[in-house]
A and B are shown apart, each in its own frame.
Chain A
Amino acid sequence: MDSFILQVTTGLANGGIYAAVGLALVMIHQSTHHINFAQGEMATFSTFICWALIQRGVPYWVAFVITMVVSFVAGVLIQRIFLKPVEKAPILTNVIVFIGLLVIFNAFAGWIFEHTIKAFPSPFPVEGMFLPQYFSGHQIGSIAVTLVVLISVFCFFRFTPLGLAMRAAAFNPDSARLVGIRVSWMLALGWGMAALIGAVAGMMIAPIVFLDPNMMAGILLYGFAAALLGGIDNPWGAVLGGIILGVLENILGAYVIGSDLKLTMALILIVSILIFRPYGLFGKPIFSRV
């Protein structure tokens, strides 16, 4: 029984990371209706920046905050420079741009920081602050951090005028302009926020899986699945989806399939769910008039 609970708690902790990545994807999708395939590589790059700062003696939380800010600014710049020219282009052209960015970030990460695996510190105590027999300190810490990020994001979109404007710009850019919203900048903001959230996710997962340029590849997929599972425009859904996914992956891996196929099985399960609930578990279908 104990080992079952351990699987669940590990699943919860991992799920929190998937949730954060899923959240970043939902963020960009809400504002631009695109999935940022480069999200994982951007997060990895941000994590490398944090690592480099810590190596130079910057205290952890200072490096953490600096990385968040740098990532935010970088996200905004990337949207302005690379995504704006293809704003009106078909979806697949945008997909190519995302793939291009993905490849470039990965290449630069490898070039600047090399491919050797690095250890990344955790700011949390080794022993869990809460239910130490089931949760390590880092697991509790990363769940807490993810919760803080999530709640901030939710409140931002739900309760602030800027958040409302961003949602409006995503749903109907023409009407948004007619109420005075600077749609282009809303998109840039969405990217900045997504980059920031991605960076947080990267910094939380790095202590567990160790830091190398390909760190986020599998995790991005989980994040994507989490976002879809929850309904692509639903931040809460992404979080719930991430947690469900984390737990599912671990339980399946331990009791049903064995680690080789757990990724496959988790994904097949998601696809099956999507067949019955094409808009995700909590998504709302958007009706379009012909």
Chain B
Amino acid sequence: MTTYNTLKKIIPPDQALANQALSRSLRQVKDIFRADLPGVSEAVSNLESNKDLDLINALATPIPTVVTDFVGNTLATGTGPGNTVTTNDIIGIAAGATVNSELPVVTTVVTELANLGALTPLTANGGSSGSAVNGIYTLMSYALTGAYSSGGNVANSTTIPNTTHYAGPQTFGDVDLAFSTAGTGLIAVANSYISNIATTYANLVNQANDAANACAQQLVLNVDNCTAAGIDIGNVVNDVANANLVANSVSTALGLASQLHDIGLDVSEGGAAQFFENIANITNLTGQAVIASMREGRNIAVLNAVGIQLDTQLVDVNANTTVANNLGNAQYSVAEARANIVI
């Protein structure tokens, strides 16, 4: 490398300075050492600047904080690296994202509480509507059958009997009031027992609540991101016929099949490959083929990387296409070609 101090002893100092300065400027250009001068000249001739764009030219950072903050709040809401969005963030509930691991925690806690007898005030069932040991849920069930209503009619006066778990008898105008009346209604009493359980078994209940909240959070994440992605998730769940989706779209099925190699390449946590692994029907041929296709896609990628091609693709449908017979023949025969030759 020629330094300025050296060059100015070889060529006129002013030219040395200009050359060194120009060299330094040119070396600021990304990848310029891979280019040639004719190519550079062609490119430079067509470059455009931010001329007259005063706000752009005044920027002190590539992307202002107001933009990064807004983008972050609007789009960087996912669970991927840097809060990037993953497939599971949008539709992961179908693959059991979060729920598969968290819901069993809830189930285990409730089972444990039942085994401890903690749920008895709610669930105890003496076998008849008049049993003195009936819990609140059991009383609710009988009440809804009209067992405690005058004439068996839930619209009539309803008297909930006294039991080990309910301070009765309490008479209400109808079964609805038997449920809804503050203090003595069945819902209020059940709520009181649930509070007691939550207090008495706080550690267990907190475990279950945290797990249930995680499941709910997964749902919320999916709802929010589906909405952002333009998916009418409300109707997808409750009224799919009005969810702006085309039913029985064969082209969609074919398109999805052709994507399976690419889907398999997204092996990120919460990504498309993980999602499809979880929704593939592993018990039948086509479901296993989904997983095989993704594996095949990954194999193709790693083998192609070292220059090896896989012979897994079926013959292109073009091979079975009958060539149209009404196209003009654009090739000369030998005789025709010979006839065209000038000696």
Say whether A associates with B.
no
